[in-house]
Chains A and B, each alone.
Chain A
Amino acid sequence: MFGSLKAGDKGKIIDISHVGHLVQRRLLDLGITEGSEVCVKCVMPFGGPIMIESCGQCVGIRRKEAVQIEVERI
């Protein structure tokens, strides 16, 4: 789970299907989908969004969506 990752941790996305359709589409547009390697860059306080990096591209997503993405730590 993304939720358990901290800033600086790296992981590989294994399941993104539980995330809302629109968010899934947008992440796909940015090249982030199952099999992508991501690195958590920072986590905003009070349940705010998190910033992830994939292939040199930084993207901000909300925490509630992030926890629905299943990742495996690498």
Chain B
Amino acid sequence: MEIALIGNPNTGKTSLFNNLTGSYEYVGNWSGVTVEKKVGVFKNNIGHLIDLPGVYTLNPLSKDEGVVTSFFLNESVDRLLNILDASQLERNLQLTLQLLEFEKPALIGLNMIDVANKRGIQIDAQKLSEVLGVPVVPVVARSGKGCEKLIDAISTKSMQPTKKNLVYYGIEVEEAITSLSGELSGKTNHSPRFLAIQYFEGNEYVKDYVKTIADPHKLTEITANLESKLQEQKTFKTLANYIYLKRKEIIEKIIVDVARKSDSIIPLSEKIDSIVTNRFLGMPIFLLLMYLMFMLTFDWLGTPLSDALDTLLTGPITSGFETVLTAINASDFIQALILNGLVAGVGGVLVFVPQIFILFFFISLLEDSGYMARVALVMDRIMESVGLNGKAFIPMMIGFGCNVPGIMAARTIEAPRERLLTILLTPLMSCSARLPVYALFVGAFFAGNKAFVVLSLYVLGIVVALILAKIFSSTILKSETSLFVIELPPYRLPQFQSLWRSTWDKAKGFVRKAGTFIFAGSVFIWLLSYVGPNGLNVDMDDSFLAAIGNVIAPILEPIGFGTWQAAASLITGFLAKEAIISTMNIIYFVPNDASLQGLLASYYTPLAAYSFMVFILLYIPCLATVATIYKETNSKKWTAFSMIYAFALAYILSLVIYQGGKLFGLV
């Protein structure tokens, strides 16, 4: 049995999905967290549950909404589970009425009753069920309350709607529906009435679908006929509006029947909003929060933890491995492979796990609390001036964690050009995999003001993105329409458990990559450094790795780090940014106490180190990001562009920084 989960954005569909299937998918308190469909298996194995992006209607404006409409048209589903936000029943029911027209068995989960109660709204679920003709089960998706009942209802109750044609659209529209249905009947498995109504509403996906099975001329004729008939009515504007109003009439009647309103208290949300979106305080508060995040990640909390882990890894763990390897009489080759390759390569990346956890914890906090949408609001003015909109800031913030989900989050941006622009610029946001590189270099060269230097790189990424947005949007990506309407969800106190899960879910990707990708990469890199044209166990400068690096090194000379070591690590950095660190740990391997940080000082000047960090920040999106860009833009041209412009930009900026710095007498 296939059951689809559908409802307005930010009504808790994914929370419910996680509770019903026992899996963990990405949740947050802003509209558009889920941008593609996800499939899970019910805990008691009664079937598959399909989580869909949130939509207000089945007539899509943006790409994530299109996912839902094409799902409805092209895939088979047995039952619909419609989640309603009890505190916003009126607009939620607009979607419900459309879903019921789809004429599939349906069930309603009434969520956020607590929020509604606080706002002084009481809803009679029993009554709602009677009026709509489908079962209604109250749930609290966040805590999982009511889920048992919901599963019960799904597996036992017959959900065939007991009422047909809930909305009567007036004689003119009904006649047109009948004649359009006549054109379609027998040619499709979907309800002809549903298709007809969506067609009249101007749903592009349905239009394309209907055109493939019926005569397009006939269809336009019916529509034109209907429109001219309705035009005689004074209040008529557009057909879509007319249909909307008919539904609204019914909804208002339903609301009178099922909801009772009493006096409400001023929600805490509005009090918080009067501060964080205050016209003068909004921006400073945002910057202060960012500053706190960086200080905690890089200075106050993250660095001590990482240092402790480093001491553990280079000390007891390395010597432990050594003892074991000697005890089992491992050959020199195996010893070198494990100690110089794996422990150095994988361990060098794992050291940064604490810092990455802290960063992801903050990003999760921003998402779960509801502050994310406010940031988009506060930033819109700046974003508008460079040809983007405030919503583009959300993918960028998520990009600080990892660029891949950041780029996917751009799907919620309605205007195609703004979305493309956001996709192209999100890789400039410094992701968590770049963080180890900074941490290593600032530790070696800028110990006095670590957080400040790192912050300067993050800010540089943002500033460059904004400048490029301006350039691109006024040249190659001229955008005629821009759309910015954003829902600001009520604040919710994040639950510790869900925060922890969402932090762990994001950070485990990093740990897993260290165990697989970096693990394999480390072995490979070490082998390349161990083997040379003249045989095994060569001096590293005569290895294959050095030979490859030496080809590229001259190009890097003008920007301050023309060594084969830097060149080789940049190549591996394309596969995954943190591979730069494992490569360096292998290349600059020093068996005894001297640390990599100390060693780096003899290869880089502080100026070259900064130039190197800027280069790492910008030079190329990693492999996974490139694949995502290709998937999202579906264009080889733009994918290639995203790599080439990034490289050119990185080179020019590093050149300016290094050569300019030298002119000013910096070293």
Of A17, A31, A58, which is in contact with the most chain B CB atoms at under 10 Å from its CB?
Answer: A58
Check if A49 sits within 8 Å of B380, measured CB to CB: yes
Q: Which residues of chain B are within 8 angstroms of A23 by Cβ–Cβ distance? A: 483-485
Check if A48 sits within 8 Å of B381, measured CB to CB: yes
Q: How far is the CA of A41 from the CA of B273 in the complex (A)?
A: 9
Q: Which residues of chain A are within 8 angstroms of B227 by Cβ–Cβ distance? A: none
Q: Mark B244-280, 1 if CB is under 8 A from A, else 0.
A: 1000000000000000000010010110011001111
Q: Mark A23-38, 1 if CB is under 8 A from B, else 0.
A: 1011111110000000
| B279: contacting residue among A20, A45, A53, CB under 8 A | A45
Q: How far is the CA of A31 from the CA of B244 in the complex (A)?
A: 10
Minimum C-beta distance from A6 to chain B (A):
11
With contacts A22-B483, A30-B487, A43-B279 taken as known, whether A62 is within 8 angstroms of B380 at the C-beta atoms is yes
Minimum C-beta distance from B548 to chain A (A):
51
Q: Which residues of chain A are within 8 angstroms of B277 by Cβ–Cβ distance? A: 41-42, 44, 51
Q: How far is the CA of A48 from the CA of B153 in the complex (A)?
A: 48
Check if A22 sits within 8 Å of B380, measured CB to CB: no
Q: Which residues of chain A are within 8 angstroms of B267 by Cβ–Cβ distance? A: 56
Minimum C-beta distance from A14 to chain B (A):
14
Check if A26 sits within 8 Å of B483, measured CB to CB: yes
Q: Mark A50-72, 1 if CB is under 8 A from B, else 0.
A: 01010111111110000000000
Q: How far is the CA of A50 from the CA of B181 in the complex (A)?
A: 44
Interface 9-mer from B87-95, B161-169, B425-433: B87-95
Number of interface residues of B (CB under 8 A): 40
Check if B91 sits within 8 Å of A42, measured CB to CB: no
Q: Mark B542-577, 1 if CB is under 8 A from A, else 0.
A: 000000000000000000000000000000000000
Q: Which residues of chain A are within 8 angstroms of B90 by Cβ–Cβ distance? A: 31, 55
Q: Give the residue name and chain of the A residue nearest to B282 (CB).
A: A44
Check if B91 sits within 8 Å of A30, measured CB to CB: yes
For residue B481, CB closer than 8 A to chain A, the reply is yes
With contacts A51-B488, A57-B88, A61-B484 taken as known, whether A22 is within 8 angstroms of B61 at the C-beta atoms is yes
Number of interface residues of A (CB under 8 A): 30
Q: Which residues of chain B are within 8 angstroms of A41 by Cβ–Cβ distance? A: 270, 273-274, 277
Check if B119 sits within 8 Å of A49, measured CB to CB: no
Q: Which residues of chain A are within 8 angstroms of B373 by Cβ–Cβ distance? A: 60
With contacts A26-B61, A31-B91, A43-B279 taken as known, whether A60 is within 8 angstroms of B483 at the C-beta atoms is no
For residue B378, CB closer than 8 A to chain A, the reply is yes
Check if B414 sits within 8 Å of A22, measured CB to CB: yes
Q: How far is the CA of A42 from the CA of B253 in the complex (A)?
A: 33
| B88: contacting residue among A46, A49, A51, A55, CB under 8 A | A55
With contacts A23-B485, A59-B486 taken as known, whether A45 is within 8 angstroms of B280 at the C-beta atoms is yes
Check if B483 sits within 8 Å of A44, measured CB to CB: no
Q: How far is the CA of A57 from the CA of B8 in the complex (A)?
A: 13
Q: How far is the CA of A57 from the CA of B484 in the complex (A)?
A: 16
For residue B376, CB closer than 8 A to chain A, the reply is yes
Q: Give the residue name and chain of the B residue nearest to A27 (CB).
A: B485
Q: Which residues of chain B are within 8 angstroms of A28 by Cβ–Cβ distance? A: 244
Minimum C-beta distance from A19 to chain B (A):
10
Check if B56 sits within 8 Å of A30, measured CB to CB: yes
| A62: contacting residue among B56, B269, B282, B484, CB under 8 A | B484
The A-contacting residues of B in range 114-131, CB under 8 angstroms, are 119
For residue B15, CB closer than 8 A to chain A, the reply is no
With contacts A22-B61, A56-B119 taken as known, whether A49 is within 8 angstroms of B488 at the C-beta atoms is no
Q: Mark B367-380, 1 if CB is under 8 A from A, else 0.
A: 00000010011101
Check if A44 sits within 8 Å of B378, measured CB to CB: yes
For residue B390, CB closer than 8 A to chain A, the reply is yes
Check if B377 sits within 8 Å of A49, measured CB to CB: yes
Check if A25 sits within 8 Å of B61, measured CB to CB: yes
Q: Mark B337-381, 1 if CB is under 8 A from A, else 0.
A: 000000000000000000000000000000000000100111011
| A60: contacting residue among B61, B88, B237, B390, CB under 8 A | B390
Q: Which residues of B contact A (CB under 8 A)?
A: 56-57, 61, 87-88, 90-91, 94, 119, 237, 244, 264, 267, 269-270, 273-274, 277-280, 282, 373, 376-378, 380-381, 384, 390, 414-415, 481, 483-488, 490
Interface pairs (5), CB distance under 8 Å: A31-B88, A43-B279, A44-B377, A49-B380, A60-B376
Give 3 nearest A-B pairs by CB, closest first: A29-B56, A48-B381, A31-B91
Q: Which residues of A contact B (CB under 8 A)?
A: 17, 20, 22-23, 25-31, 41-49, 51, 53, 55-62
With A29-B91, A44-B282 known, 14 other A-B pairs at CB within 8 A are A29-B94, A31-B88, A41-B270, A41-B273, A41-B277, A44-B277, A44-B378, A45-B381, A57-B91, A57-B487, A58-B488, A59-B485, A59-B487, A60-B377
